[in-house]
């Protein structure tokens, strides 16, 4: 018997099924959990006022994202190594996504071939690109994704310094990547961060280069500063994923809910705004859209579904958030995503 609401129930099931280190890898943030909690609270402190008696006119959750018509604005964020969580892996996620008329970003660190994931999804998916240390190596990965038929590239820029968060079990690896770029040996007194990792990190010049390589929509994931948002627009990119990586990189950032209005104002409609980090319900989705986002992404919640019940669990998570979004629209008298943008939030 399931006494809890679906998401906490799936989280509980996932925790019970996963080895402790894998559960920790999934749930952890860059500190002791405070960033994760504040990400979630950031959406929850915004409040909605019910608007009963409002007649809904052709109510729907449809939206247009570049050339794609989406049935709803709930997307799956890139999550690495999904075979850690269930044998179905990324393919299970992709199949569930298709069944629920959704869209997902396949991680650079996927544990199954991007070609196979897109094939099994039976729809073009988006591909999340991590910088591979230099342009030549990054281009190899990019070309592999483009050849698989992906329909957008999402360049994640907020995690240039990678710390190994987990020892991968035998048989699970980032199968789409070439061998990692060898790090130059450090001299005595050199910094591992400045003289090591950061020598391989991308810069704005690389974003400009990438823009020239990519003819499909290009989004930049992991920005929270309004000046960076303006720069993305100036470089001709098509979208931003406002995100603090689910709190997993820089500990102690503001919540995404806190910076979203500034980011929306900065781009002034010149590119799409997607948002993630801490979204846990259809009501959170509603609030993000009311604040000006064009779509939202979820990370951990769908992985709870994957770990607990495979592809079926992922499908249930998407469907539940969509149902909750529709219910929130009904209770607030909102018929469309365009109308949602007019809704005032309270604290």
Task: Report if residue 321 touches ligand FNR, rule: CB under 6 A.
Answer: no
Cβ atoms within 10 A of the Cβ of 4, count?
A: 11
Separation in Å, CA 250 to CA 137, 223, 278: 26, 12, 15
Strands 295-298 and 103-106, by their bridges, are unpaired
Cα–Cα distance between 21 and 27 in angstroms, integer? 10
Burial class, 262, CB count within 10 angstroms (exposed 0-12 / middle 13-18 / buried 19+): middle
Residue 226 CB, shortest distance to ligand FNR, in Å, is: 19
Task: Give 47's strand partners.
Answer: 346
Task: Report if residue 240 touches ligand FNR, rule: CB under 6 A.
Answer: no
Residues acting as catalytic residues: 245
Task: Report if residue 318 touches ligand FNR, rule: CB under 6 A.
Answer: no
Binder of ligand FNR out of 217, 292, 299, 313 (CB under 6 A): 299
Binder of ligand FNR out of 103, 111, 128, 255 (CB under 6 A): 128
Task: Report if residue 30 touches ligand FNR, rule: CB under 6 A.
Answer: no
Which residues inside 132-161 make contact with ligand FNR, applying CB under 6 A? 156
Task: Give 106's strand partners.
Answer: 127
Residue 320 CB, shortest distance to ligand FNR, in Å, is: 14
Based on CB atoms, which residue is closest to ligand FNR, 26 or 264?
26
Which residue minimizes CB distance to ligand FNR?
A: 299
Which residues inside 161-220 make contact with ligand FNR, applying CB under 6 A? none
Binder of ligand FNR out of 72, 245, 272, 319 (CB under 6 A): 245
Burial class, 201, CB count within 10 angstroms (exposed 0-12 / middle 13-18 / buried 19+): middle
Task: Report if residue 307 touches ligand FNR, rule: CB under 6 A.
Answer: no
Binder of ligand FNR out of 11, 298, 307, 334 (CB under 6 A): 298
Based on CB atoms, which residue is closest to ligand FNR, 11 or 279?
279
Task: Report if residue 78 touches ligand FNR, rule: CB under 6 A.
Answer: yes
Per the CB < 8 A criterion, the answer to whether 5 and 317 are in contact is no
Based on CB atoms, which residue is closest to ligand FNR, 11 or 109?
109
Binder of ligand FNR out of 102, 239, 278, 310 (CB under 6 A): 278
Task: Report if residue 276 touches ligand FNR, rule: CB under 6 A.
Answer: yes
Binder of ligand FNR out of 6, 74, 80, 91 (CB under 6 A): 80
SS3 annotation, 133-202: CCHHHHHHHHHHHHHHCCCEEEEECCCCCCCCCCCCCCCCCCCCCCCCCCCCCCCCCCCHHHHHHHHHCC
Per the CB < 8 A criterion, the answer to whether 102 and 81 are in contact is no
Strands 103-106 and 74-76, by their bridges, are parallel
Backbone phi and psi for residue 130, each to the nearest 5 degrees, phi listed first: -100, 140
Of 14-22, 199-207, 298-306, 316-324: span binding ligand FNR (CB under 6 A): 298-306
Give, as one character, the DSSP assignment of residue 82: G
Task: Give 76's strand partners.
Answer: 104, 298
# residues near ligand FNR by CB under 6 A: 23
Based on CB atoms, which residue is closest to ligand FNR, 28 or 54?
28
Task: Report if residue 22 touches ligand FNR, rule: CB under 6 A.
Answer: no
Task: Report if residue 109 touches ligand FNR, rule: CB under 6 A.
Answer: yes
- The residues that touch ligand FNR, with contacts defined as CB under 6 A, are 25-26, 39, 77-80, 107, 109, 128, 156, 221, 243, 245-246, 248, 276-279, 298-300
């Amino acid at each position: 018997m399931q006494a809890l609401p679906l998401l906490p129930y799936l989280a509980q099931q996932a925790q019970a099924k996963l080895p402790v280190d894998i559960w920790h890898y999934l749930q952890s943030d860059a500190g002791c959990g405070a960033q994760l909690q504040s990400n979630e609270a950031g959406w929850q402190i915004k409040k909605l006022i019910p608007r009963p008696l409002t007649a809904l006119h052709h109510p729907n959750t449809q939206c247009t994202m570049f050339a794609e018509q989406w049935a709803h604005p709930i997307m799956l964020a890139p999550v690495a190594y999904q075979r850690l969580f269930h044998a179905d892996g990324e393919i299970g996620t992709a199949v569930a996504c298709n069944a629920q008329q959704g869209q997902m970003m396949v991680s650079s660190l996927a544990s199954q071939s991007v070609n196979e994931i897109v094939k099994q999804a039976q729809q073009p998916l988006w591909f999340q690109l991590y910088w591979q240390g230099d342009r030549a190596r990054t281009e190899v990965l990019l070309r592999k994704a483009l050849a698989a038929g992906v329909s957008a590239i999402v360049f994640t820029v907020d995690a240039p310094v990678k710390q190994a968060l987990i020892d991968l079990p035998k048989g699970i690896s980032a199968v789409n990547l070439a061998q990692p770029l060898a790090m130059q040996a450090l001299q005595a007194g050199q910094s591992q961060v400045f003289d090591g990792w950061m020598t391989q990190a991308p810069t704005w010049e690389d974003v400009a280069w990438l823009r020239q390589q990519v003819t499909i929509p290009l989004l930049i994931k992991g920005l929270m500063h309004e000046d960076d948002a303006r720069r993305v627009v100036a470089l001709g990119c098509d979208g931003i994923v406002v995100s603090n990586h689910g709190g997993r990189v820089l500990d102690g950032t503001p919540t995404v809910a806190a910076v979203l209005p500034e980011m929306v104002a900065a781009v002034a409609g010149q590119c799409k705004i997607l948002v993630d980090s801490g979204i846990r319900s259809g009501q959170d989705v509603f609030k993000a859209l009311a604040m000006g986002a064009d779509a939202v992404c979820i990370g951990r919640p769908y992985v709870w579904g994957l770990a607990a019940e495979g592809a079926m669990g992922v499908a249930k998570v998407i469907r539940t958030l969509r149902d909750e979004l529709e219910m929130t629209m009904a209770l607030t008298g909102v018929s469309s995503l365009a109308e949602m943008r007019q809704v005032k939030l309270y604290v």
